[in-house]
Structure 1
Amino acid sequence: MSAKHAKPNFSQSQVSEVLKRLFRVTASEIRSLPSYDDQNFHVVPVDGGEYVLKIMNAEDSKNPALIEVQTHAMSFLYQNGLPAQTAMPTASGQLMSLEEIDCGYGCQKYLVRLLTYLPGTTISKVPLTPQLLYETGKTAARMDLILQEMEHPQLSVLQRENFKWSLSNFTMLEAFLSVLDGDPLQEVVKSVIHQYKSSVVPKRSGFRKCINHGDFNDLNVLVQPDESDGYKISGILDFGDMNSGYYIHELAIAIMYMMTEHPNPIEVENAEYLMISSKRGIFILRQLWELRKEQVEKVWFESAAQFSDRK
């Protein structure tokens, strides 16, 4: 099965049928939502409320244990005060259902969940003030600390050894260097990988381990206006990249994605999809490499000092 056929392509009628059969929900409105690998729908039932129907891609649906742990993590975070979605049970009491449906590529199996709806707009659409960046980093840190307390009999599925989106597997990028043949950027990327091997890998045994969200990006963090004319974090989305990693990985991912949105990316310290991250990311990578480590750290540490006395 090709990757392009792994992503579900449910029709409105198929979505309506699944909602009625699995969740006893009759929708007055069904609206498609953005998704990279899966298919998401905003659902408004006739009797009120709002939900998100999430249909996992066919490849990830082959690993229900992993999806179960992700679903449990979302609920655990919600129970501990963070704005994460929770799964609604089916009519038979299950939190997800494996459905075999033909949505244009022949019959395939897709894991389906009905999640609570979180209000807000993505952080990518609002001004990134120092205060909001601080709150973003604080939320990421709190999330990882809470996840460290989570228990589940299948936590071992988060040891995703060949998962290319885990920073523990950063050197897997070497297999793709040929894509940059003839591009001066290739030497920069090679140098970054070399730095990782020489400066990070030898020290990794001293890093503090944790469970990473793994994709704490500008499209997975929701915000709402607060009482001080700023914004507050109102939602954390998409736990599909969860993996066993390190606290420093979550920080690095959050910083990188906030940089793609900030008008002056070097000032982001503790803090559509492919087009935004790749185009903007290339510019930022070049800028960081030209400034060198000492200058970047000077800017970051000076900025971070403004928040060092906050809890």
Structure 2
Amino acid sequence: MCAMAEASDAHGLLEPGQIIRPMLKKADVPALVAKVYGLSVVSVKELNSYDDKNYLIQVQSKINNTHMTDLCPHGYVVKVTNSLDSKNTNLIAAQNEMMLFLHSRGINVPKPEKNVHGTYMMREKLKVDMDDFVKNNTDECPSGEYMVRMLTFVPGKILHQVKYTSQLFFECGELAAKMDNELMEFNNEHLKGRKLIWMLENTPDLTKFIFAVRDESRYKMITEILDAWNQRVVPLLPTLDRGMIHGDFNEQNIIVDATAPEHPDEYHVSAIIDFGDIQESCYVFEVAITIMYLMIEVDEMPPNDAGGHVLAGYLKHRALSEVEWSVLRECVAARFAQSLVMGAYSYEQDPGNEYLLTTARRGWDVLATFWSAPKEQVLARWREIIRSYEK
């Protein structure tokens, strides 16, 4: 099965059976950082990641890298990209360029650092973790070549770790819109042809992975959403406003901070991280993705209401056309379908990686409630919430 990891299709889309996640031990990170960045690591912590490996490191003050003049006081994230995306140098370069662009525009994002060779990335042949081969029943080792980068660590908590509020949802919408507005001036030709299973335009490709959904009622709901996508969204895709988007604006990638010392439990949205899914796509997808992920674990309001608060913040900085409004509910449902189907499939490939089931814990029930509500009712409620911010 492991040999299949080398055979990506012509479009770079994940195919059933591929194992693309780097098989790297935490203990090997200090030597990697010393070699590529000229820094001495004093601590390593592995972070959650879907297809890549990410490590938070702290380093000593001595710098053996002529391309770094000072150190980030909060540490760094070493990113080891999955084998599929590691082959696409142009894609990773585009991620770096987008982060540097947004950083220069005042959007709080991780900033790529140059390695000892003066570049923002380096492909390295890494020592692999043989325990993972046994766990995945693999019978042949991959090449072990992965792209390595180092980004400044953005301090704060991820949104998932704090109590959700309508104000935080509003601020999430604001940040997504501000970012989209800035990205209207960002152009990268290599992103325009990107194909990724997580792109909403590739929703029909879920048919390849839907076998992993074993429950009959859930399977039926996903097929209904796919049918609705094909019938209602696909014909309108050419009419939707397009540009560069983040593509994964979720509760694990949104950073919040307590800005007032006198109110340590009052958080505000401060940053967005993880640019692995950037793409040229429809702007309405950005806000739909944001809405979907914020619906999953909210207890402070009915999940269906979350979209209204996100939209109120988003619309403060970017308007939605009537065509975008007309497909918004289907876009939210399609992202649910992507996350739930791919989560089920990926867990079959990597059993025990509970991070892959983050959406599934409540996502199926939330989606069922959302999808069963009449479309007109959902949109009317969202508009009602938006109007409440205008008073």
**Does the 8 Å CA contact 2:258/2:267 hold for their aligned counterparts?**
yes
The one-letter amino acid paired with 2:226 is I
Q: Describe the shift of the 1:308–1:69 C-alpha distance in structure 2 as closer, same or farther (beyond 3 A).
A: farther
Distance 1:107-1:171 versus aligned 2 partners, 3 A rule: closer
Cα pair distance change 1:12/1:184, threshold 3 Å: closer
Amino acid at match of 1:301: R
State the shift of 1:268 in Å.
0.3
**Aligned 8 A contact 2:199 2:247 in 1:** yes
CA distance in 2: counterparts of 1:89 and 1:26, whole angstroms: 16
- In structure 2, relative to structure 1, the CA distance for the partners of 1:245 and 1:124 (3 Å cut) is same
Residues of 1 paired with 2:224 and 2:178: CA distance?
33
Q: Would you say the 8 A contact 2:26–2:46 is kept in 1?
A: no
Identify the residue that residue 133 of structure 2 maps to in structure 1.
none
Distance (whole Å) between structure 2 residues aligned to residue 46 and residue 5 of structure 1: 35
Q: How far off is 1:21 after superposition?
A: 1.6
Deviation string, structure 1 residues 55-106 (Cα, Å, up to 9, x no partner): 1112211111100001110111111111111111111211111101222346
1:256 equivalent to 2:256? Answer no
Q: 1:182 to 1:233 in 2, by over 3 A?
A: closer
What secondary structure sits across from 2:268 in the alignment? strand
Q: TM-score, normalising length from structure 2? A: 0.73
Q: 1:279 is matched with which residue: 361, 364, 373?
A: 361
Distance in 1 separating the partners of 2:60 and 2:122: 23
- Give 1:299's aligned amino acid: R
* Partner Cα distance (2:57, 2:93) in 1: 22
1:292 aligns with 2:374: yes
Instruction: Give the secondary structure class of the aligned counterpart of 2:46.
Output: strand
- Please give the per-residue CA displacement for 1:116-153, whole angstroms capped at 9, x wherever unaligned: 0100111011122111101101111111121121134x
Deviations 1:204-230 (A, max 9, x none): 222111112111111011101133653
Distance verdict in 2 for CA 1:303–1:8, change over 3 Å: same
Structure 1 CA distance for aligned equivalents of residues 146 and 212 of structure 2: 32
- AA aligned opposite 2:21: K
Where does residue 216 of structure 1 map in the other structure? Answer: 249
Question: 2:205 maps to what in 1?
Answer: 172
Correspondence for 1:266: 304
- Residue matched to 1:81: 106
The answer to whether the Cα contact below 8 Å between 1:57 and 1:110 also exists between their aligned partners in 2 is: yes
Partner of 2:193: 159
Count the aligned residue pairs. 306
- How far apart, in 2, do the equivalents of 1:101 and 1:42 lie? 18
CA distance in 2, matches of 1:252, 1:22: 38
Residue in 1 aligned with 2:183? 147
For residue 86 of structure 1, what is the amino acid of its counterpart?
K
Q: Distance in 2 between matches of 1:129 and 1:182?
A: 33
1:28 aligns with 2:35: no
The answer to whether 1:59 aligns with 2:84 is yes
1:7/1:58 contact within 8 Å kept: yes
Out of 282, 288, 291, which is 1:246 matched to?
282
Query: Which of 55, 58, 73 in structure 2 is aligned with 1:44?
Result: 58
Gaps of 5+ in 1: none
In 1: Cα distance, 2:212 partner to 2:44 partner: 40
Contiguous gaps of at least 5 residues in structure 2: 6-17, 62-70, 130-140, 311-353
Q: Which moved more, 1:13-22 or 1:254-263?
A: 13-22
The match for 1:199 is 232
Structure 2 residue 223 is the aligned partner of structure 1 residue 190 = yes
Match of 2:327 in 1: none
Distance 2:26 2:165 in 1: 39
In structure 1, the partner of 2:67 is none
Check 1:106–1:275 CA distance in 2 against 1; reply closer, same or farther (3 A cut): closer
Question: Is the Cα contact below 8 Å between 1:158 and 1:242 reproduced in 2?
Answer: no
CA 1:11 to 1:186, structure 2 compared with 1: closer, same or farther past 3 Å? closer
Give the aligned residue type for 1:156: H
Query: Aligned partners of 1:156, 1:24: CA distance in 2, in Å?
Result: 30
Q: CA deviation at 1:242?
A: 1.1
Quick check: 1:33–1:39 contact (8 Å CA) kept in 2?
A: yes
Contact 1:53 1:114 in 2 (8 A): yes
- Given that 2:180 and 2:245 are in contact with CA atoms closer than 8 Å, whether structure 1 keeps it comes out as yes
Q: Distance in 2 between matches of 1:258 and 1:235?
A: 16
